[in-house]
Amino acid sequence: MQAFRQACSSFRPLTSSTRCLAGTFTRLPSSSRFFADVKTPQATESSSSSTPTPASLSAADKLLDTLVQNKRKTRIPPQASTSSPSPPTPTDSSQDADAALPESGALPGADVPSTTPGGGGSFTGSSRRLFLLSAEEYRLYAQCTNNNVILTLAAVSKREVDRNGRPKSRTVAWVSGGTCKFKNAQRASYEAGYQASVAMFGRIAKEIEERKVDMKLEILFSGKGMGREALQKALLTSEGDLVRDLVWKVTDRTPIKIGGTRAKKARRL
């Protein structure tokens, strides 16, 4: 017993500052300023549960009615008219469109008269493909150098071939800067090339008129000089309208040196 009493006397007694241990609650300090200053909230159940007066009910109902009416005005779509639309009345534009339609069984563009290059007209589409298959093939060789320009017109044969298997051709006409009355250094000028091109265009028109044939023309350029540019500009003028419709292919045959032997010494004047 004496030992038990000594063990019990070693424990400190419970004080007011002892906290909650193992689910047991202790007393709080009676002199706490924090809890003394805090005011407990009053119950508001009586105020919230109190019924509103008839005046307040009428004001709330009016506000609710106005809100509902505004929502209905914004959300309800306008009613579509149930009356059937009247058929459109025929106008002058519809009558003109009916008159412009081709007859039954007729193809668009069937009434367009076909034209040939010899007649001075232009053509596109299927008529051009038929023309390229049936027309006689001619070649215009343009040899342009720094000293002169030489234009040669040749007719290509469809039946005869040379030993290399290429179709043979015969020379029809040729024109140069010298034949157009340009001498010496003037043959290398732009004007000489332009006049030679115009003269060749006239020779092509004469060939079409004399032989009564459809012609398709291939232009082959060779070399660089003033005559090359002159021929290109002459084709775009009114004097080259007939020849421009005949051209179906343009080829540049200017050789390009890649390696090989040493070039000839440049000429110095």
For 193-252, how does the pLDDT look when each residue is reduced to its tens digit (9 = 90+)? Answer: 999 999 999 999 999 999 888 889 999 999 988 999 999 999 999 999 999 989 999 999
Q: What is the DSSP letter of 89?
A: P
Alpha carbon separation from 10 to 5, 16, 19, 51 (Å, rounded): 9, 19, 20, 64
Which has the closest alpha carbon to 219: 109, 162, 142? 142
Q: Which residues of 172-207 are buried (b: 16+ CB within 10 A; e: fewer)?
A: bbbbbbbebebeeeebbbeebbbbbbbebbeebeeb
Give me the domains of the chain, ranges plus CATH numbers: 135-164+174-252 (3.30.420.80)
Total H helices, total E strands in the chain: 9, 5
Give percent above pLDDT 70 in the chain: 52
For 105-149, how does the pLDDT look when each residue is reduced to its tens digit (9 = 90+)? Answer: 433 443 434 444 444 445 556 666 666 666 789 999 999 999 999
Q: What is d(CA 57, CA 54) in angstroms, rounded to the nearest whole number?
A: 5
Assess contact for 223 and 255: CB atoms under 8 A. Answer: no
Strand order in the sheet with 247-252: 167-176, 149-161, 136-144, 215-222, 247-252
Residue 243, Cβ neighbours under 10 Å: how many? 21
Residue 256: predicted pLDDT: 85
Nearby residues of 198 by Cβ (< 8 Å), 6 or more positions away: 234, 239
For 63-77, how does the pLDDT look when each residue is reduced to its tens digit (9 = 90+)? Answer: 667 766 665 555 545
Assess contact for 142 and 149: CB atoms under 8 A. Answer: yes
Distance, CA of 25 to chain centre: 85
Question: Across all residues in the chain, what is the average pLDDT?
Answer: 72
Residue 10: predicted pLDDT: 58
Residue 112: predicted pLDDT: 37
Distance, CA of 105 to chain centre: 37
Give percent above pLDDT 90 in the chain: 35
